[in-house]
Amino acid sequence: MQKLVIASSNSGKLREIGQLLQPLGIEVLPQSAFNVTESEEPYCTFIENALVKARHASRCTGLPALADDSGICVSALNGKPGILSARYAGEPRSDERNNQKLVDVLTDEADRKAHYYCVIVLLRHPDDPQPLIADGSWHGEIVLRPRGAGGFGYDPYFFLPDLGKTAAELPAEQKNRISHRGKALARLVERISEETL
């Protein structure tokens, strides 16, 4: 596998995935390089949405495709925003409005425990019957005031008690190593390496 299309238009995700897959010598291309439109995400689980996105990108490009579906799940909200994390405050998508809605909902809530979850799917071709699948979680809690200028999405509000920082305050290298997406990608890299031995 020398080329791989990423089924995403999210620049933050593209940057993180590209950095983590670089050591494998795989050329990572965004689906926008092929004018591939975003796939529908009609399902209520991360895994199903990741599969449909990867299949769409692979079918449109003829290349192996990688898709992730990820979001933040808040305990007090029964796992919401979950799969709707990017659209929590509606369309058009806005990190600022999503964060404001989450803070508003949690202002009077004592339990602000949350975790990021990511599932990654790699299809070798559109009809691959045995996709490579990996996932990862990252546990923390929501704070009501933003901290830090790094990351994207909910990162300025996602506090990591063991580090005393939000995800947005971490250097990119550290975040990539310990985040939900970093853990999932590390597991995926292991699976890819096992296949090529």
Tokens 């546990």 belong to 139
146 phi and psi angles, rounded to 5 deg: -70, 150
pTM of the model: 0.91
Q: Which of 7-11, 51-55, 96-100, 115-119 has the lowest mean pLDDT?
A: 7-11
At 4, list the tokens. 């791989």
Q: What is the pLDDT of residue 1?
A: 65
Tokens 């990351």 belong to 151
Q: What is the pLDDT of residues 77-91, one digit of tens each?
A: 999 999 999 999 999
Average pLDDT over residues 56-61: 97
Could you confirm whether 69 is annotated as catalytic? yes
Helix crossing, 11-21 with 180-196: angle to 10°? 40
Q: Which domains does the chain have, with CATH numbers?
A: 3-196 (3.90.950.10)
d(CA 193, CA 60): 26
Q: What is the pLDDT of residue 196?
A: 65
CB count, 10 Å around CB of 39?
19
Catalytic residue among 68, 69, 135, 155: 69
Q: What is the pLDDT of residues 91-121, one digit of tens each?
A: 999 999 999 999 999 999 999 999 999 999 9
